[in-house]
Structure 1
Amino acid sequence: MKEQLGFDFGVEQPQRLTKVSPARLSTFEDCPRRYRLSYLQRPTPQRTGPWAHSTLGAVVHNALRALFDLPVAKRTAQRAMALVGEYWKDAGFEDAEQAARYRARAKGWVGEYVEDHDVTEDPIGLERWVSAPVSTTGGRPTMIIEGRADRIDQRGGELVIVDYKTGRRAPDEYEARASQALAMYAVASSRTLRLPCTKVELHHLPTGTIAAAEHTPDSLNRHLQRAEETAGDLRLATDTLDAGADGDTLFPARPDRRCSWCDFRPSCAEGQQAAPASQPWDLLAP
């Protein structure tokens, strides 16, 4: 966990600002032990091998990023499909036949995406890292939120956060609105790029679904308040661990069905007992 000092030349003590990302916050909320194994314990404990759905998602993200890096005239469906082939990896798939089947599907997804959407406008950010100090009360910042947004569009003088999805289920407006990650990207992008940002979108490539939500200042602040609460718990647990307390007590396992596909399943006895192990290809979109 990265931290820095916020300097104050008055009589109050300097306030430490905790840097938090959506990935770190969600990991800690889902399972504190997984957070410790991911970010704090060194050397990093044994992990599972690659997951096919993660490979598939990374390929599609990379292909679309590369497509928008091209001149507008070259942003064709054929070129997008070729980029999938260039970035393709077989890691995590059951066999070469399954990998080839999903490679063909991924090509179809991005090809249809390019045909169905206007890709002539240049995004203001691709895999853009955004970071900003924030306060939920309007006073002195209490934390620094940061993360990497898949795509940031500029539409009519405002920013729109676009997040690509390749999972099994198509998202809806509720999921877009409830996404803490998208809300944090919206706030950080607005502060970084100095343009208003209230709209967030989930683009589901397998179905062509676009789930969009429009945030208000209040809804964004609620996401920040939740992030602030989690960051406080995370900081306290980490500081107490650094002082010599027991890691298993401070960062307990939270067993549930997600233990089936947890990266740290080989290093967590509770997770192994909680649910049977998934095959590396079980989470692929059907």
Structure 2
Amino acid sequence: MEQLGFEFEVQPRRLTKVSPARLATFDDCPRRYRMAYLDRPTPTRTGPWAHSTLGAVVHNALRALFDLPAAKRTPARAAALVSEQWNDAGFADARQAAVYRERAQAWIADYVEHNDVSATPIGLERWVSAPVSAEPGTPASLIIEGRADRIDERGPELAIVDYKTGRRAPDEYEARASQALAIYAVAAERTLRRPCHRVELHHLPTGTIAAAEHTEASLRRHLARAGETAEDLRAATDNLAANGDPQALFPARPSARCGWCDFRPSCAEGQQAAPPTRSWELLAP
């Protein structure tokens, strides 16, 4: 009988695990990445942000809505779910919080009124993960993973839905250019074993739905870009573990965003780059 041979000298390639949030954080500012994911204890952060609270409430209310039987997914019930999920963290005061609570109730009620919400999604806040290669025909080099807001069945294929509550309505270009949506599409296809090319941004304040249909080539381009960032991220992390200089390996990238960075209290460069943003100033007007 022929014996199986093993190359004990050859070490298996270590896969870098990345999420859209990790990739975006490292691309924006390696210093913030180090503080968020590597430094222990975690450096001092700012308090809660009102726009983040608002977004979380809307996401949680929509998830709760789709957990209900289809007949109970009414505009009135959707608005009530906003109140049930609400908290005032980050708002200037109770009066401002009440204004935005009413706005969020109107947004979600209108969304239910003008969109078909009768179908039950295949995934709600669904965690998807898959090993992938950054280049065609090569072994897997990274594991992409993340939590998709919603995964719908659209005929034989899947569609990724991401909710937005920001100042500006998205367009098709933004949907197509979103690395996060592309990663969710690839990971969902591998996890759920169904084709997935359609991605959608649902902007609750305006009712805008910005959609794009990916091709295999466009998804591959997103994976290639993710692979490049993952390689840089892994190299910096490995060198840090080998007692490399954290300031040199994870440099700050000062910009206007430093005004609302979570780690502004722990970053001297960020404090010098921009004045502090108050916790409610990023809310849509």
**TM-score, normalised relative to structure 1:** 0.96
- State how far apart, in whole Å, the 1-side matches of 2:242 and 2:88 are: 44
Aligned to 1:3: none
Q: State yes or no: 1:239 paired with 2:238.
A: yes
Aligned to 2:46: 48
Q: How many residues align?
A: 279
Q: 1:127 aligns with which of 125, 128, 152?
A: 125
Q: CA deviation at 1:138?
A: 2.8
Equivalent position amino acid for 2:232 in 1: D
Aligned to 1:163: 162
* Structure 2: 5+ residue stretches without partners: none
Q: CA deviation at 1:9?
A: 4.6
Q: CA deviation at 1:285?
A: 1.1
- State how far apart, in whole Å, the 2-side matches of 1:138 and 1:114 are: 44
* Structure 1: 5+ residue stretches without partners: 1-7
Aligned to 2:212: 213
Equivalent position amino acid for 1:284 in 2: L
- State how far apart, in whole Å, the 2-side matches of 1:151 and 1:89 are: 23
Q: 1:28 aligns with which of 20, 26, 29?
A: 26
Aligned to 2:83: 85
Aligned to 2:191: 192
Runs of 4+ in 1 over 3 A off after TM superposition: 8-12
Q: CA deviation at 1:12?
A: 3.8
Aligned to 1:71: 69
Aligned to 1:5: none
Aligned to 1:108: 106
Alignment of 1:168-179 (within 5 A): 168-179=167-178
1:182-227, Cα deviation, whole Å (9 max, x unpaired): 0000000000001100010000000000000110111000000000
Aligned CA-pair RMSD: 1.0
1:100-153, Cα deviation, whole Å (9 max, x unpaired): 000000000000000000000010000000000001323311110000000000
Change (3 A) 1:223 1:9: farther
- State how far apart, in whole Å, the 2-side matches of 1:285 and 1:62 are: 19
Q: Percent identity?
A: 75
- State how far apart, in whole Å, the 1-side matches of 2:58 and 2:137 are: 39
Alignment of 1:258-273 (within 5 A): 258-273=257-272
Equivalent position amino acid for 2:202 in 1: H
Q: CA deviation at 1:13?
A: 2.7
Equivalent position amino acid for 1:132 in 2: A
**TM-score, normalised relative to structure 2:** 0.96
SS of equivalent residue, structure 1 residue 16 = coil
SS of equivalent residue, structure 1 residue 128 = strand
Aligned to 2:180: 181
SS of equivalent residue, structure 1 residue 15 = coil
Q: CA deviation at 1:242?
A: 0.3
SS of equivalent residue, structure 1 residue 139 = coil
- State how far apart, in whole Å, the 2-side matches of 1:141 and 1:233 are: 17
- State how far apart, in whole Å, the 1-side matches of 2:147 and 2:90 are: 24
SS of equivalent residue, structure 1 residue 140 = coil
Equivalent position amino acid for 1:133 in 2: P
SS of equivalent residue, structure 2 residue 191 = helix
- State how far apart, in whole Å, the 2-side matches of 1:285 and 1:139 are: 44
